[in-house]
Amino acid sequence: MTKNKEFKNTLLGLAFLSPNILGFSIFTIFPLGFSLVMAFSNWDLSQHNIFHSNPIHWVFFDNFSALLSSNEFWKFFKNTLFFMLGIPVSIAGSLMAAILLNQDLKAPSKKIRNQLILGSLLILGIIVTIMTGLKASVISIFLSSIFTLILMGGLLGGSTLYRTLFYTPHFTAGVATFILWKKLYNPQSGPLTNFLQPVLDHVSIFIEFVGSENIGFLKYAAATLCFLSLSYGLKTILKMRKELELGNGSFAIAYFLSALPSYFIVKWSPDNPVSAVLQIILIGTLFYYFASFFKVSKPKTPIDDGIGKAIWIGFISMTAQFILIGLCNLFQNIPAIMQSPLSTPNWLTDYNWAKPSLMFMGFWASIGSNQMLLYLAALSNLSPELQEAAEIDGASKFQKFWNVTWPQLAPVTFFISIMAVIQGMQGGFEVAKTMTGGGPAGATTTLEYYIYDEGFASGRLAYASAISWVLFAMIFLLTLFNWRFGNRFIDE
Amino acid sequence: MNKLIIFCIFMILMGSLYIILTEPHSDDSIPTLYWVTDANPTRYQQIELFHDWLIQNKHTTPEGNAIVRIKLETGGIDNKKLIHGVSGVAGDLIDLSDIDQYQKLGILEDVTEQGKSLGFDIHQTFPSLKPSLYFNDKQYGYPCNVSIHSCWVNSETFAKLEMEAPPEKWDVETFEKIGKEFVLKANKEKERQEVFFMNKPSDWLLIPWLTTLIRSMGQSTFNETLTDSTLDQGAFAEALRLNLKWVEEDHLFPSSAEASSFNSEGGFGGSLMSLFLEGNYGMITTGRWVLVRLRDLEEPPRVSVSRYPFKYFENSVVMTRAACIYKGSKHKKLAALFLSFLASQTYNEQIVQCADALPSNPKYLHSNEFLKPIHFPNEWGAHEVPARSAQEISIAETKSPYISYSSIVKVIREADEKVQNHISEPVEAAKEANLAIREEIQRNLKHRPKLKKQFDKDKFRQNQINRMKENGEKIPTSLISNPFYKKYYNDKK
């Protein structure tokens, strides 16, 4: 190819690309660069707009230092992180949904199909009868019936029907679904309350029958389990360190994650002898394993060896401990709670419940989202030879999943995790604006909402830009961390 | 494939042609004004009236047509108004309830001279509205309507319980006493509370409600010169405490959860009205526009009006939805004609008839059409209350030049939410709110030398006032900027 022709081809290629490059430059690159410049200025709509030509000053890092020292920023940052705690659950949910939807659920023969339909109708009848007995509302009975009908539909239509239904939340307009969920969360007449309240009534009767004081004793069981979770986690990572599966840095991360709940136990525990004993045991355990770490021989290994596994183990131990602390707290307070009959919370208007309620809705939306589609695609591309080899070796279903399927899904999980973290940091505006207005008392305001509020309600564009860039920096660091160590996890 | 693409392009071209041909022809010789307002059906009627008024008053083209036409731009939420305004693309006329915020942005046209020459200055409206319409003695808008928030009572709900409708004026103790009796009688033999004395003032209704209570204790949200928040001086905490007590102890208002289960919305199209008519609320806090929907009913209930309860200084908050001219408008003179129309007899009589709040000009408050509408005897006796409140005890909202009104609203709402959710005690929440406003003021002053200069002057004035207060001297009105203290000190004399 002559140089002239090559040049012509390049020009032609650029000509085809130019509309996109032009659009991208004008609508993405320029605003991005502009907002970065803006973040170092004092641009405020009340002072600087086409009718107010006050000079714009450079304030350098003032906006950044102001926001980093602002209580509001950190409060909304914590809210954002709280919502992000749901990411592992939503990924696990998407994977489970994808595995289920990967099965062929269609009834193999007409006879079996008819039997299953009859069985489902019978189940539907039983559900309706029970719910009527529990004085459930018409809407709850209706929803239960729909649920059973969907189950039946799957037998007729196979997994295609389920795949469509599971993906529905993703292509339904956000605001419409938020309003729907607002109705579901209605604390007086919402289906969720109507479904839970009769259950809670029966739980109340049961607790009364057993005696709330007796139930309160279960706190000791929960505390013991919490201690065992901590010990097991620490023991496992120490063993892995001994066997050179973990580097010193990885060990430190896993140790820190496992020990984190103990800090909160000490912070939250009431002043009584029982909790004092528990605190001593936990701190003693932490010291014991810390000391053991120095006792074991530590041949040289890269500092971040096995970091993926370390994070997983630390995270599981931490989550288990937090759940058990919650249960312990619940059992501790059962006698006080039982002063009045149990009732469902005010989902969206209670300061402590608003965040979990939105988070729960987020699970629903994300389980049937693109995450599930990606997993479905990955599952259909798994190597059948490996599965067959595992089967021949006599692997159980769980072993097949854990040792064959899960490692093959690692690249997809890695991609989904990165995207979920990015979206999690950037999210929360639409849902909070529609359902809670960022309240009560700022409980559901995320950083994205804060940017909108500062930029378009208060008119402080420079400050809003500074928040955006701090958010960008956080996302960038998190993604970098994910990239650095997530890749390692895939390789391992 | 090529044929398909050509077919698609052909269809798009045909569609475009159809749209162009079927679009109503606009006569370019007559300019169009765009009016950014709410989606209220009466606006269409008002546009027609404006058209007729222009012709009657000889504002016509040589052919005898009105010299300007108006088109509505509804759905103008506040943030949209702000962004459009600063970007130079807002409508010619903008309805605003917080003129000060937009005046600070510099996007509103000064209409002082036109106000005098075309007859829509302060003399043609309620004097108490001056702080909401004038800044540095310059006028920036004229009211489309005026609202005095009151308790609108369904007298029939009270009659069913063999109770008298509440009085026009009541102090907090009487309010509580009647409320408790009502709630007790109305919910007798009911499994759970279904009837409440009143809807809980929330969202935008919370501010006039709390402001009235705070002012009734002789305090305000700001000091005399608007340089500092005074939310920590006791009255705000007491108002928050009362609000909590009326929800949790006395059950006069529904909690947020109960209210959301009613699914009530306070706006024009909300379901608050249905709950009012069904008897779930004995009364609702709203403005006179509540009658717009009541009058649509075949048999509207008998209604009466009570003022907001007070501690010892009786007052009410006067608010307005005012029309302002956008600085970027190409037809400012024609837009001024619309403001003149808002002060006219034609427009005010329409407001009186359609009941969309109070007319902008108080001289129409005394007509029989206003006080005793012939087709609605169920309303007789109700209209006098907001009219008297507007003329006798009303005070404009307190707004400071050093902080945006939306920030104050946000802080106050958050304080109420903290108290209602038991996150903070009322005193603690009031202190936090006070601190939040102070910090916000300091933040606004930081990079604005002009504002800082004005602030220092006002601060100096405040020190003067403080000294006078310490010495028990009379404070001259000229030193005071806060509309509440102007009236309070004057009435105390």
Angle, CA A191 vertex, CA A188 and CA A192 arms, to 5°: 85
Q: Is the pLDDT of residue A419 over 70?
A: yes
Question: Do B421 and A457 count as a contact with CB atoms less than 8 A apart?
Answer: no
Question: Do A50 and B406 count as a contact with CB atoms less than 8 A apart?
Answer: no
pLDDT for B327-381, tens place per residue? 999 999 999 999 999 999 999 999 999 888 899 999 999 998 999 999 999 999 9
Question: Do B417 and A44 count as a contact with CB atoms less than 8 A apart?
Answer: no
For each of the domains in chain A, give its residue range(s) and CATH number, in order of start. 3-63 (no CATH), 64-105+359-492 (1.10.3720.10), 109-209 (no CATH), 222-344 (no CATH)
Q: Which of A428-432, A469-473, B28-32 has the lowest mean pLDDT?
A: B28-32
Return the structure tokens found at B42: 């009466």
Return the structure tokens found at B493: 């004399």
- Whole-number Cα distances in Å, B282 to B147, B166, B302: 21, 10, 12
Contacts of A42 in chain B (CB under 8 A): 447
Q: Is the pLDDT of residue A171 over 80?
A: no
- Locate tokens 């960022």: which residue? A438
- Whole-number Cα distances in Å, A354 to A39, A44, A48, A141, B419: 32, 32, 37, 26, 16
B313 close to B220: Cβ distance less than 8 angstroms: no
- Amino acid B25: pLDDT: 61
Torsion sign over Cα B369, B370, B371, B374: positive
Taking residues A120-147, report their average pLDDT: 71
Q: Does B89 touch chain A (CB under 8 A)?
A: no
Question: Do B106 and A49 count as a contact with CB atoms less than 8 A apart?
Answer: yes
Q: Which CATH number fits domain B32-145+321-371: 3.40.50.300, 3.40.190.10, 3.40.630.10, 3.40.50.2300?
A: 3.40.190.10
- Whole-number Cα distances in Å, A218 to A105, A154, A212, A228, B35: 41, 41, 10, 15, 66
Contacts of B450 in chain A (CB under 8 A): 54
Return the structure tokens found at A250: 């990885």
- Locate tokens 């600087």: which residue? A48
Question: Do A57 and B447 count as a contact with CB atoms less than 8 A apart?
Answer: yes
Contacts of B87 in chain A (CB under 8 A): 49-50
Question: Do A49 and B260 count as a contact with CB atoms less than 8 A apart?
Answer: no
CA dihedral A410, A411, A412, A416 (to 10 degrees): 100
Of B198, B96, B152, B160, nearest to B292 by C-alpha is B152
Intervals of chain B under pLDDT 50: 264-269
Taking residues A35-49, report their average pLDDT: 89
B161 close to B342: Cβ distance less than 8 angstroms: no
- Locate tokens 């609605």: which residue? B376
Q: How far is B474 from chain A (nearest CA, A)?
A: 37
DSSP string, A341-372: ------TTTSHHHHHHHHHHHHHHHHHTSHHH
Chosen for mutation from A38, A46, A451 (greatest number of chain B CBs closer than 10 Å) is A46
Q: Does B423 touch chain A (CB under 8 A)?
A: yes
B398 close to B318: Cβ distance less than 8 angstroms: no
- Locate tokens 């000091």: which residue? B223
- Amino acid A134: pLDDT: 62
Name, in order, each residue with C-beta under 8 angstroms of B414's C-beta and a sequence gap of 6 or more.
A439, A441, A442, B433, B436
Contacts of B327 in chain A (CB under 8 A): 51
| Nearest residue in chain A measured CA to CA from B102 | A46
- Amino acid A1: pLDDT: 59
Q: How far is A315 from chain B (nearest CA, A)?
A: 30
Q: How far is B257 from chain A (nearest CA, A)?
A: 6
Question: Which amino acid is residue B39, in one-letter code?
Answer: A
Query: In terms of C-beta density within 10 A (0-12 exposed, 13-18 middle, 19 or more buried), how is residue B169 classed?
Result: middle
Query: Is omega for the bond preceding A198 within 30 degrees of 0, making it cis?
Result: no
| Nearest residue in chain A measured CA to CA from B193 | A188
Q: Does B443 touch chain A (CB under 8 A)?
A: yes
A354 close to A444: Cβ distance less than 8 angstroms: yes
**Residues forming a β-bridge with B45:** none
Q: Does B94 touch chain A (CB under 8 A)?
A: no
Q: Residues 449 to 468 of B: which have CB under 8 A from any A CB?
A: 450
Torsion sign over Cα A29, A35, A38, A44: positive
Q: Which of A159-163, A396-400, B157-161, B363-367 has the lowest mean pLDDT?
A: A159-163
More confident residue, A45 or B182: B182
- Amino acid B453: pLDDT: 94
How big is chain B, counted in residues?
493
Q: How far is Cα B327 from Cα A92, in angstroms, rounded to an integer?
A: 56
ipTM of the predicted structure? Answer: 0.80
Q: What is the pTM of this model?
A: 0.81
| Nearest residue in chain A measured CA to CA from B415 | A441
B310 close to B213: Cβ distance less than 8 angstroms: yes
A257 close to A315: Cβ distance less than 8 angstroms: yes
Taking residues A135-158, report their average pLDDT: 70
Q: How far is B429 from chain A (nearest CA, A)?
A: 11
pLDDT for A175-205, tens place per residue? 888 888 888 888 777 788 877 888 888 888 8
- Locate tokens 């403001």: which residue? B339
Question: Do B260 and A46 count as a contact with CB atoms less than 8 A apart?
Answer: no
Q: How far is B77 from chain A (nearest CA, A)?
A: 11
Q: How far is Cα A468 from Cα A448, in angstroms, rounded to an integer?
A: 8
Contacts of B404 in chain A (CB under 8 A): 46, 458-459
- Amino acid B38: pLDDT: 85
B314 close to B307: Cβ distance less than 8 angstroms: yes
Question: Do B447 and A348 count as a contact with CB atoms less than 8 A apart?
Answer: no
Name, in order, each residue with C-beta under 8 angstroms of B187's C-beta and a sequence gap of 6 or more.
B193, B194, B195
- Chain A residue set in contact with B, beta carbons under 8 Å: 42, 44-47, 49-52, 54, 57, 59, 62, 66, 186-190, 346, 348-351, 439-442, 456-459
Q: How far is Cα B145 from Cα B428, in angstroms, rounded to an integer?
A: 38
Q: Does B194 touch chain A (CB under 8 A)?
A: no
| Nearest residue in chain A measured CA to CA from B447 | A42
Of B213, B207, B237, B262, nearest to B418 by C-alpha is B237
Chosen for mutation from A41, A57, A65, A188 (greatest number of chain B CBs closer than 10 Å) is A188
Q: How far is Cα B198 from Cα B281, in angstroms, rounded to an integer?
A: 5
Q: Does B255 touch chain A (CB under 8 A)?
A: yes
Of A428, A439, A224, A238, nearest to A351 by C-alpha is A439
- Amino acid A102: pLDDT: 83
Of A367, A347, A344, nearest to A358 by C-alpha is A347
- Amino acid B270: pLDDT: 53
Angle, CA A365 vertex, CA A360 and CA A368 arms, to 5°: 125
Question: Which amino acid is residue A458, in one-letter code?
Answer: S
- Whole-number Cα distances in Å, A65 to A69, B328, B436: 6, 36, 18
Question: Do A457 and B406 count as a contact with CB atoms less than 8 A apart?
Answer: yes
- Amino acid B194: pLDDT: 85
- Amino acid B267: pLDDT: 43
Q: Is the pLDDT of residue A140 over 70?
A: no
Q: Is the pLDDT of residue A440 over 90?
A: no
DSSP β-ladder status, A52-53 and A48-49: antiparallel
Contacts of B407 in chain A (CB under 8 A): 458
Of B444, B483, B163, B189, nearest to B304 by C-alpha is B163
Q: Is the pLDDT of residue A8 over 80?
A: yes
CA A418, distance to chain mean position in Å, is: 12
Other CB atoms within 10 A of residue A100 CB:
13
Contacts of A439 in chain B (CB under 8 A): 413-414, 417
Q: Which of A67-71, A335-339, B208-212, B463-467 has the lowest mean pLDDT?
A: A335-339
Selecting from A188, A190, A441 the residue whose C-beta is nearest the C-beta of B418 gives: A441
| Nearest residue in chain A measured CA to CA from B442 | A66
Question: Do B105 and A458 count as a contact with CB atoms less than 8 A apart?
Answer: no
DSSP string, B9-69: HHHHHHHHHHHHHHSPP--TTS-EEEEE----THHHHHHHHHHHHHHHTT-B-TTS-BS-E
